[in-house]
Amino acid sequence: MSDDLDLSGLRRSYEKDSLDESMSAASPLEQFKEWLSDALEKGVCEANAMTLATADEQGRPSSRPVLIKGFDEDGIVWFTNYQSRKGQNLDVNPYASVQFFWPELERVIRIEGRVEKLAASLSDEYYASRPLTHRIGAWASPQSQVIKSRKVIVEDAAKYALKFGLTPPRPESWGGYRLMPQYWEFLQGRSSRLHDRITYNLKTDGQWIKQRLAP
């Protein structure tokens, strides 16, 4: 335990809202859309940021923040470098979980499921919509690899900007993923740590079973 930082007394009481079975939507996607819309409307900082957790072939986990770029009945979409650590993890273990944490609303959303790569045409479409500097950055950064200094990627960005001009193509090593949910959990903070937790589990017949968990 650290002698310099006493964390044992840091806590807060959650009092802002509640969530019960009758209040929650019939489908998890509807509930997600409702909560995400609420977070965006209320100005939650980086409401579209989620923590993505993956694991390698030995089950060793790693996590990092990514930005959700779309969602529908098929799943949750984000984009990244396929050769990054998360991409390598998903190559050997195509299951992941994501978590949204919005402390301003005292809410957490967890989603678990299988992950697949998006069709190249969808990755091309999104890549073309990105700012030019971001498209160049996808070429310049060998994500998750060791580099000698920041100078390496700055110089590579300049090199690719000169090479491609205003129309850089999408690198084959960069594109989208879709997490296809099998489990959703919505947590609303409550007083005395007696939080509300509503889950949705996907059954083999395609129906969602809604349940309450103890906090």
207 — phi, psi (to 5°)?
Answer: -90, 150
Domain CATH number, residue 112: 2.30.110.10
The answer to whether residue 74 is domain-embedded is yes
Confidence (pLDDT) at 12? 86
In a domain, 15, yes or no: no
At 28-55, the pLDDT tens digits run 999 999 999 999 999 999 999 999 999 9
Global pTM reads: 0.93
Please say whether the beta carbons of 115 and 95 come within 8 A: yes
Distance CA 90, CA 53 (A): 10
Range of the domain at 116: 28-128+173-213
In a domain, 34, yes or no: yes
> What whole-number distance in Å separates Cα of residue 24 and Cα of residue 30?
9
Residue 185 lies in a domain: yes
* Overall domain count for the chain: 1
Q: Is residue 158 part of a domain?
A: no
Question: Does 69 map to a domain?
Answer: yes
- Domain presence at residue 58: yes
Residue 93 belongs to a domain:
yes
Catalytic residues: 193
For the ranges 2-16, 94-108, 122-136, 160-174, the lowest mean pLDDT is seen at 2-16
* Helices 120-129/132-140 angle, 10° precision: 120
